[in-house]
Amino acid sequence: MDDGDEPGRLVDKLDLSGCVRLLTGDDTWHTAAEPAVGLSRMVFSDGPAGVRGPGWDETSTAAVLPSASALGALWDEDRAYGLGVLLGEEARRKGVDVLLAPTLNLHRSPLAGRHFECCAEDPLLAGRTGAALVRGIQSRGVAATAKHYVANDSETERLTLDARVDERVLRELYLAPFEAAVRAGVWLVMSAYNRVNGASMSESSLLYEPLKGEWGFDGVVVSDWGAGRSTVASGRAGQDLLMPGPEGPWGAALVDAVERGLVSAEAVRDKARRLLRLAARVGALAPEGREGPEGREGREGREGREGPGASADPGASADPGASEGPEPPAGLVTPATPVAPVTPVAPVTPATSVTPVTPVAPATPVALVAPVTPTTPATPDVLTAPKSPAPPVRPVVVGAEQPPIAGQPLAGPPAEARCEPRPRASGEPGPQALAEPRPEAVAGAGCGRSVHAVAPADPADREARGRAVLCEAAAASSVLLENRGVLPLDPAALATLAVIGAHAADPRVQGGGSSEVFPREVVTPLAGLRDALPPGVRVVYEPGPPPEGTGGPAPLGPRHARDPETGAPGVRLRVLDASGAVLHHAHQPSGRVLEPELPPGAHSVELAAVLHPDVTGPWTLGLGGFGALRLTVDGAAVLAGEYPPRTDDPAVVHVRPPQHTARVHLTAGRPARVVARRRLAPGTGRATVLTAAPPGPDPAEALAAAVAAARGADAAVVVVGTTEGAESEGHDRRTLRLPSPQDRLVREVVRANPRTVVVVNAGGPVELPWRTRPGAVLLTWFPGQEAGAALADVLLGRTEPGGRLPTTWPAVLADAPVRTTRPTAGVLPYEEGLHIGHRAWLRAGRAPAYWFGHGLGYTTWAYERLGPPEPAPGGYEIPVELRNTGARAGREVVQVYLARPDSAVDRPVRWLAGWAAVRVGAGERVTAYVRIDARALRHWCPAEGGWTAEPGRFTLLAGRSAGDLPLRGVLEA
């Protein structure tokens, strides 16, 4: 859009205090309104896995997408764009203006706690996937946020660690995905908690250069929640908005700093201009002469509800004496010229003749236990958005566009068209196709969902369509790691199918932390297979022994709990004052309460339930939270004490506080009243979690039952994975081993039935020591709410497992070249430089279990010829001829890498330069044209402060993964 100079004119109406007031949040999830200029409050929401909205409990449900690591596995910008559209539509319906997504940090180490929330180890794949998500979200008038800028690649001491990264490494790796997002027109960038090379990111010169200067970012830099810790340093830097509020280090302190000459008034005005520009883009700024904030509440999609209030922990106090950060360079305090998106390269026709070439080788009383250590206007419908017209072109699949080279002219539509779908070639899928089931998935009632030929008219149909989109994405991101002829399963050949593993009935569909949302429904693998198989197939389920290390029992839910006031399934929440009087009460679906309404005078939070045991024996009851805790069962205290926080990390304090547990003997059929109370205090957060778990089965008996079920079945499906305590924001992993005894479960089941498919439900790498033994191994990541429906489609051959690894998969942790995530004396040096992921493995001369880019399908391919590079605008197109040698149609991701063994500068052994996906029928040939941007041949030269071309010969390598590249060629630069 083109906002003209309206933000500048409106800023002129505000005095210094008025500008500053806009620069700190009004509460946890809202910005401040200003009626004098027609500014409404803007609503923020966490969003990488779904749009939670400003409320955070199970009464506010959301569609749950596959994890970002799964989206990276798509290697498909069109589908990523469609998922972004879905997020934007849901945000609009929830009244959300700003979505805190996508996460653009890299898979530097497999131990990183938020590995699942990042797309890839490779900056090109991460950048192109993230840029597609940005375009999709913002096509619906909702702002996307590229986070966490920058080098926030691990969780240990993340609030304070100092990542030491040299300039070239920053430019070529860690800044690159953010540059791609800026080129795609992203409206916000989030500054991270950590420091980089000594400077806190909210105070870093990197916010000016390259972000606002060289790249021309004209949006808002918002802090991570509570990351703004200083007044002068962050005020002088390119930081624009501090969240949450209303407390914080700016406010009156920033006004004083300006009046004393410590921060320039123009820098403050630029921050306010940027905020108003954002408001105009999302529809929160009334045109001059129109109604103000009150009129906005009635617009379609806005709920008009208030947020949960200010955070209990507003963050560090102002520090006017903090070390001064850089003032903006001359010319950077005025809004930058908007950057237009890039026009994609037109597809070209495959060669009509192919010349094959030779490939190159390549029962107890109540007992206490010790506390547990915390391991605008209405927008177009998502389903009916029109395609942008384009002239006919030669039909073939081509790799999507690359970010343009810094300093070169940008091709594409004018800046005001940045929110519209990019122009597409005839036959290339547009937003409607992206958000709808693709033809190949529709065939055979793919994903078990009804698919309409036109956009659904009512909310129920709209939700069904959305679920189909999510199901297809989960299937398309599934990576088939191994297959020994077992997949796809033929339902006609099955009389009995054994489904085994705790994750089959209770899968992990998302990772832990601020990205978590509450799904409306989860299709489990067990339910998905039962629904998809014919009535004559008997499905036998055995959970096997429960995995260890779950982090405590699950929140007390409707299966066992009843509200003591209404008798409805769930629990009763009460907020009490110091005398015990009730200030607020509400029904809750479960015992997990993260952001309760806290009226003035709130002293404690109480959760009460009537627990209906269905098993006799020692139940584990738990209370999660910080501060003074008390848990009673039928009036008797089973847990009481003071539990002060050991960290101020928001992911721990506000999202997943540690549980403190007790074992209580309960009798089946005899209800027990359970009451948990937590006294509120500064620094203890707002989360209170009441949990319960029945006594578990005998592990040996559970294992024997699982083995017996497998032995008596025609085939077995074992679902294994990580647990709640493993992959989460707030901490890094210490091991890649699956929680015990899942490895033993797999071995025993495979021994009993070789026709066993092992499904791996994890957001990042785990060790698979048995991987060569099962009939097939399928990686489904954290697949989102449609997990089981997608799994059934893949296992039964209704759709092909389309994913390719976005990260290199080690056989054992000790083999991984980059493992460090824990700083020493607060410093985490990125000593590996440019060599992370597959680059590091190649440099070390080691072979992983599975290479970056690996993934099998249900057909086979022969790579036959690598044609000579063809010049294209801003780079090259590389023709790769291949043939489907299998018995069914399939999709292949053709990957092209570059190498320069004789380079005068340090370079990776080889690096990803581009890719393109093709889909053809059995026996057919196709030419994929892979686009390589000229930037892929250049390196960053700190001495020259720019991208430098190195003349000479580069080696081209083409194939299906970083370790399987049968074709070679030459590119003369």
Q: What's the whole-number mean pLDDT along residues 820-842?
A: 97
Would you say 973 and 937 are in contact if contact means Cβ atoms under 8 Å apart? yes
Q: What's the whole-number mean pLDDT along residues 288-316?
A: 39
Quick check: 347 pLDDT over 80?
no
The predicted pLDDT at position 728 comes to 87
Quick check: 290 pLDDT over 80?
no
Confidence band (pLDDT; 50, 70, 90) for 647? confident
The predicted pLDDT at position 896 comes to 99
List CB contacts of 162: < 8 A, sequence separation 6 or more: 194, 195, 196, 197, 198, 823, 826, 827, 828
The predicted pLDDT at position 57 comes to 76
Confidence band (pLDDT; 50, 70, 90) for 5? confident
Phi first, then psi: give them for residue 878, nearest 5 degrees: -110, 115
**Which pairing describes strands 925-933 and 938-941: parallel, antiparallel, or unpaired?**
unpaired
Q: Residue 68 half-sphere exposure, CB side, CA atoms within 13 Å?
A: 32
The predicted pLDDT at position 898 comes to 99
Domain ranges for the chain, please list them.
6-287, 561-693, 861-972
The predicted pLDDT at position 447 comes to 60
For the chain, give the percent of residues with pLDDT over 70.
82
Confidence band (pLDDT; 50, 70, 90) for 3? low
- Considering the domain delimited by 6-287, tell me its CATH architecture: Alpha-Beta Barrel (3.20)
Quick check: 730 pLDDT over 50?
yes
Q: Give the range among 295-304, 321-330, 422-431, 591-600 with minimum mean pLDDT.
A: 422-431
Q: What's the whole-number mean pLDDT along residues 805-824?
A: 97
The predicted pLDDT at position 288 comes to 61
DSSP code string of 668-682 = TT--EEEEEEEE--T
Whole-angstrom Cα distance, residue 692 to residue 699? Answer: 20
Q: What is the pLDDT of residues 16-52, one digit of tens each?
A: 999 999 999 999 999 999 999 999 999 999 988 999 9
Q: What's the whole-number mean pLDDT along residues 778-803?
A: 98
The predicted pLDDT at position 55 comes to 79
- Most confident range (mean pLDDT) of 378-382, 393-397, 649-653, 815-819 is 815-819
Confidence band (pLDDT; 50, 70, 90) for 686? confident
Quick check: 116 pLDDT over 60?
yes
For the chain, give the percent of residues with pLDDT over 90.
75
Confidence band (pLDDT; 50, 70, 90) for 6? confident
Q: What's the whole-number mean pLDDT along residues 701-709?
A: 99
The predicted pLDDT at position 515 comes to 86
Top-confidence residue, 456 or 60: 60
The predicted pLDDT at position 4 comes to 62
Structure tokens belonging to residue 379:
């927008």
The predicted pLDDT at position 674 comes to 98
The predicted pLDDT at position 388 comes to 32
Structure tokens belonging to residue 36:
């004098």
Share the mean pLDDT of the chain: 85
Quick check: 143 pLDDT over 50?
yes
pTM of the model as a whole: 0.84
Whole-angstrom Cα distance, residue 470 to residue 465? Answer: 9
Identify the burial level of 214 via C-beta atoms within 10 angstroms of its C-beta, where 0-12 means exposed, 13-18 middle and 19 or more buried: middle
Structure tokens belonging to residue 728:
């989460």
- Looking at 2.60.120.260, 3.90.1420.10, 1.20.1050.140, 2.60.220.30, the CATH number of the domain 561-693 comes to 2.60.120.260
Confidence band (pLDDT; 50, 70, 90) for 463? confident
- Considering the domain delimited by 861-972, tell me its CATH architecture: Sandwich (2.60)
- Do the first three CATH levels of 6-287 and 561-693 match, i.e. the same topology? no
The predicted pLDDT at position 358 comes to 34
Cα 248 to chain centroid distance, Å, stands at: 28
DSSP code string of 741-798 = THHHHHHHHHHH-SSEEEEEE-SS----TTTTSSSEEEE--S--TTHHHHHHHHHTTS
Q: Is 624 helix (H, G, I), strand (E, B) or coil?
A: strand
Distances (CA, A) of 46 to 116, 124, 197, 224, 302: 15, 25, 28, 11, 17
Q: What's the whole-number mean pLDDT along residues 162-178?
A: 99
From its phi and psi, is residue 113 left (phi > 0), alpha (psi between -120 and 50) or beta?
alpha
Quick check: 642 pLDDT over 80?
yes
Q: What's the whole-number mean pLDDT along residues 131-147?
A: 99
Q: What is the pLDDT of residues 914-941, one digit of tens each?
A: 999 999 999 999 999 999 999 999 999 9
Quick check: 364 pLDDT over 80?
no
Q: Give 640's strand partners.
A: 630
Q: Give the range among 145-149, 329-333, 410-414, 737-741 with minimum mean pLDDT.
A: 410-414
DSSP code string of 551-599 = SSPPBP-TTTEE-TTT--BSEEEEEE-TTS-EEEEEEESSSEESS----
Confidence band (pLDDT; 50, 70, 90) for 595? confident
